[in-house]
């Protein structure tokens, strides 16, 4: 499967399109519909489901809403509350727990800067707890944070850096924020995925590294991501598919060509396009022009939802 996406709901779509089926063994789906927001919870429960979805077992909550595209206070406030509610479902409200927040991605590349931007806006409190020798506070919980930068910046595997931090500060959980790749432009900067199954830094850019998950870090890992790009090959594949469907509808079933078209495999189409985009394919991305503002808005929403969840006493 060559469609590049980090979203569980898109893996499910891809599977369903190829099988003309809407249920996957070992995968449970729950939908919540609101006036201005749609929340889909995909839970991968079995190894079979994991293999089909090409995703680790765990919960994947997708919050989709056009509210993320508007920059007024009211829309933002609504989004923050939607995200906060889902975070509380996962985190609970135990203020004794300590958290390490990791901003993944490269702050020098706008669409990859979501993680560092979000961490910089999240209230860090661990040093204050340490200064006052407190273990517990009614209004705030203990939070540390780091945006290590990608491997090209540090020369060190991000997973190794995070592991070593976990070993010295012993948090109860790690929250990792990252920019994701989507298959569809209409999900870019209007979707937030929260998952309990960990995250692999650099997976989106084709350099898979040590996964940040409970197995590797020894503590719960919650990943929060927003798709900020579609890669150019994925976009053109999807556009080509629509175009070919249109051609098929215009053609005659008795033509040999009709069958030729019918038999073009997804993989072949993708290969064809990749070749025509070569030698840039790996680094060619499609983004909205105002990506800077959209990333900023997404970082505000996620950091504020985290602040309200982790620090309930903060005004």
User: 89 to 108, contacts with its own copies by CB under 8 A?
Assistant: 108
* Nearest CA among 122, 94, 116, 87 for reference residue 104: 116
Find the shortest distance in angstroms from Cβ 181 to its own copies: 11
Using CB under 8 A as the binding rule, whether residue 136 contacts its own copies is answered as: no
- With CB under 8 A as the contact rule, which of the stretches 19-27, 37-45, 248-256, 304-312 interacts with its own copies? 248-256
Judge whether 200 and 209 are in contact, CB under 8 Å: yes
Window contacting its own copies (CB under 8 A); options: 45-53, 82-90, 122-130, 193-201 = 122-130
Q: Report whether the peptide linkage leading into residue 279 is cis, meaning its omega lies within 30 degrees of zero.
A: yes
Q: What are the φ/ψ torsions at residue 248 (nearest 5 degrees)?
A: -60, -45
Query: CB-wise, 56 or 112, nearer to its own copies?
Result: 112
Residues of this chain, 197-216, that bind its own copies according to CB under 8 A: 205
CB atoms within 10 A of CB 262: 11
Residue 206 zone, left/alpha/beta (φ > 0; ψ -120 to 50; rest): left
What's the min distance (Å) between Cβ of 156 and its own copies? 5
Q: Which of residues 99 and 193 has its CB atom nearest to its own copies in the complex?
A: 99
88 or 185: CB nearest its own copies = 185
| Contact indicator for 7, 204 with CB cutoff of 8 Å | no
Does 1 interact with its own copies (rule: CB under 8 A)?
no
Closest separation in Å from C-beta 17 to its own copies:
16
Residues 252-281 that bind its own copies (CB under 8 A): 252, 255-258, 260-261, 269, 272-273, 276-277, 280
Closest CA to 153 of 116, 186, 117, 123: 116
Q: Tell me which residues in 18-37 interact with its own copies (CB under 8 A).
A: none
Burial of 265 (0-12, 13-18, 19+ CB in 10 A): exposed
| Residue 182, CA atoms < 13 Å, CB-side half-sphere | 22
Query: CB of 34: closest distance to its own copies in angstroms?
Result: 21
For residue 113, count other CB atoms closer than 10 A to its CB. Answer: 23
Q: Which of 1/239 has CB closer to its own copies?
A: 239
Euclidean distance between the first and final Cα of the chain, in Å?
47
Taking the C-alpha atoms of residue 91 and residue 307, their distance in angstroms, rounded to an integer, is: 13
Site size for its own copies (CB under 8 A): 77
- Of 79-87, 118-126, 210-218, 303-311, which segment contacts its own copies by CB under 8 A? 118-126
Per CB under 8 A, contacts with its own copies among 143-172 are 143-149, 151-157, 160-161, 163-165, 167-169
Q: Does 50 bind its own copies (CB under 8 A)?
A: no
């Amino acid at each position: 499967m060559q469609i590049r996406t980090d979203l569980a709901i898109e893996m499910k779509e891809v599977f369903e399109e190829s099988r003309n089926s809407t249920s996957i063994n070992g995968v449970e789906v729950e939908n919540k519909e609101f006036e201005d927001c749609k929340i889909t919870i995909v839970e991968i429960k079995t190894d079979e489901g994991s293999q089909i979805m090409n995703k680790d077992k765990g919960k994947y909550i997708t919050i989709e809403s056009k509210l993320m595209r508007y920059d007024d206070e009211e829309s933002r406030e609504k989004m923050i509350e939607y995200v906060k509610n889902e975070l509380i479902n996962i985190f609970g409200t135990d203020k004794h727990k300590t958290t390490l927040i990791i901003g993944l991605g490269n702050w020098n590349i706008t669409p990859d800067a979501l993680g560092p931007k979000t961490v910089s806006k999240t209230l860090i409190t661990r040093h204050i707890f340490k200064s006052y020798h407190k273990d517990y506070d009614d209004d705030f919980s203990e939070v540390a944070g780091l945006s290590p930068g990608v491997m090209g910046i540090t020369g060190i595997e991000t997973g190794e850096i995070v592991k070593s931090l976990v070993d010295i500060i012993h948090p109860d959980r790690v929250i990792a924020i990252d920019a994701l790749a989507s298959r569809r432009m209409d999900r870019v900067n209007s979707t937030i995925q929260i998952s309990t199954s960990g995250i692999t830094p650099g997976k989106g850019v084709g350099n898979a590294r040590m996964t940040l998950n409970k197995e590797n870090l020894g503590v719960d890992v919650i990943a929060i991501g927003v798709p900020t790009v579609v890669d150019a090959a994925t976009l053109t594949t999807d556009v080509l598919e629509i175009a070919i469907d249109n051609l098929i509808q215009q053609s005659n079933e008795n033509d040999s060509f009709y069958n030729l078209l019918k038999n073009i495999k997804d993989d072949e189409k993708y290969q064809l396009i990749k070749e025509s985009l070569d030698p840039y394919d790996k680094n060619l991305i499609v983004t909205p022009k105002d990506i800077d503002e959209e990333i900023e808005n997404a970082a505000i929403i996620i950091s504020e939802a985290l602040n309200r969840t982790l620090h309930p006493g903060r005004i």
